[in-house]
């Protein structure tokens, strides 16, 4: 068991969110659901927590009520191998009410922030040649979803 794992606070959508995330990521599975009892604070029988794994990373979703909302101050970064993988995750996570952000960031339909980033991005914007790195960075700053082809073109000059 990992010592540290994300614990996500939802209003009432913990089980729905778990099922959505498990459908988006390969090698993922739903886990234990714990329901509120007589003591509450939620309605008896309602989902309190839903545990799940996304590609081996454990998560817990809590139905804690409307008190707290997600912000971009915390996000999950998806390390993508190529443009097809960027497109896949971007499309799935922005579907049904998700919203694109800048520079590869998005919010899913639950308001959770994600960064959908090709692995190659680090090499392009971190190139030891400052002119190449600056061109790649300038191109990325104009993007919502990362376009690896355009980044490579900008990097090359």
CA atoms of 116 and 48, how far apart (whole Å): 29
H/E stretch holding 90: helix 83-94
List per-residue pLDDT tens for the chain, 157 residues long: 678 999 999 999 999 999 999 999 999 999 999 999 999 899 999 999 999 999 999 999 999 999 999 999 999 999 999 999 999 999 999 999 999 999 999 999 999 999 999 999 999 999 999 999 999 999 999 999 999 999 999 999 9
- The two tokens of residue 114 are 């994600």
CATH of the structural domain 70-157, one choice from 3.30.470.10, 3.10.180.10, 1.10.287.110, 3.30.230.10: 3.10.180.10
pLDDT given at position 40: 87
pLDDT given at position 1: 66
Whole-prediction pTM value?
0.93
Residue carrying structure tokens 């081996």: 56
pLDDT given at position 18: 98
pLDDT given at position 24: 97
pLDDT given at position 2: 74
CATH class of the domain at 1-68: alpha beta
Sheet holding 47-54, edge to edge: 7-10, 57-63, 47-54, 29-35
Q: Where are the domains of the chain?
A: 1-68, 70-157
């Amino acid at each position: 068991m990992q010592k540290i794992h994300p614990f996500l606070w939802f209003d009432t959508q913990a089980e729905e969110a778990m099922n959505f995330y498990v459908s988006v990521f390969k090698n993922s599975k739903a886990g234990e659901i714990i329901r509120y009892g007589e003591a509450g604070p939620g309605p008896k029988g309602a989902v309190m927590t839903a545990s799940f794994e996304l590609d081996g990373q454990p998560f817990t979703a809590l139905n804690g009520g409307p008190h707290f909302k997600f912000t971009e101050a915390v996000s999950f970064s998806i390390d993508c191998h190529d443009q097809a993988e960027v497109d896949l995750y971007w499309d799935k996570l922005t579907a049904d009410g998700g919203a694109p952000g800048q520079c590869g960031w998005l919010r899913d339909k639950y308001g959770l922030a994600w960064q959908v980033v090709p692995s190659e991005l680090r090499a392009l914007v971190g190139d030891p040649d400052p002119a190449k790195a600056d061109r790649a960075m300038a191109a990325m700053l104009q993007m919502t979803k990362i376009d690896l082809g355009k980044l490579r073109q900008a990097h090359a000059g």
